[in-house]
Amino acid sequence: MDQKLAQEVCVILKQQLKSRGIAYQDLAKDLEISEVSVKRLLNNTQPMTMQRLIHISHLIDFPLSKILQQAEEKLNSIPLFTQEQDAAFYDCPALFTFWSELAEHKTVEDIAERYQLDPASIHLYLRKLEKVGLVSLGVHNQCKLLVPGHTAFEQGAKYPEFFTTRVLNGLQKRVVNIPVEDDQAFLISLKAELTHEEFKQITKKLEDWMFNLLRESQDLRLREGLKVAPYTFGFMGAKGAFHDTLPTIGRLTE
């Protein structure tokens, strides 16, 4: 079983055991192993055989197929910032910049040097991130990310309003009047007659495509050695006819 999938399976098993009031000691007795071994299995530090997985699924009366389905769905879902994290970024926009640098595998020392930050400022930024559950801090400002680098904002979040207009304005300048030979940008504009359901399907497909691309781009092991560069996308769509009125057809003199 894939390591990430196995981790999600273990999380689900622990949740189901807790909801049913089954202690690790009880599970250990049922599996005829030590409680320490049970903890290792459920923390994914020791491989779990399919036989034991099936045994546990029977014990908690939770089908194995459903366990795997939920694990895959969770694995493929895009993590979202919490409202508290969104509010922290909104109140201190530079905090999101700091977080983004960490998410792009920059060290604290790299960030301090790039932005000319003093130790006190570094400490305050890290404490703010720790307070809202984005990092855990160790000694000498060593920190560990607690959410993936591809975490996104949910619809209606406050912080994206801070930079969305600037991003879209910059992107618009880049994609308007693209030379024919320019293959580093594109602009597609269309008007279509759709049902509301068709519009929702298009939106869902675009979201799935973007988030799948985002998730795959974070798999550094599979992409090792590839030459990459940042690309910005801004897909928009809304009900209504936003095209300018076509020129009036006037009389021709010749």
Domain limits of the chain? Answer: 3-76, 83-145
CATH topology for the 3-76 domain: 434 Repressor (Amino-terminal Domain) (1.10.260)
Per-residue confidence band for 244, with pLDDT thresholds at 50, 70 and 90: low
Q: What digits encode the pLDDT tens for the residues 29-39?
A: 999 999 999 99
pTM of the full structure: 0.51
**CA dist 79 to 25, 44, 103, 153, Å?**
33, 21, 14, 9
Q: 37, 36, 42: which is closest to 18 by C-alpha? A: 42
From first CA to last CA, the distance across the chain in angstroms is 76
DSSP single-letter state for residue 140: G
Q: Does residue 224 surpass a pLDDT of 80?
A: no
Which conformational region is residue 166 in: left (phi greater than 0), alpha (psi within -120 to 50 degrees), or beta?
alpha
Quote the distance between the C-alpha of residue 31 and its chain's center: 37
Q: Does residue 176 surpass a pLDDT of 90?
A: no
* Report for 1-10, 52-61, 72-81, 161-170: range of highest mean pLDDT: 52-61
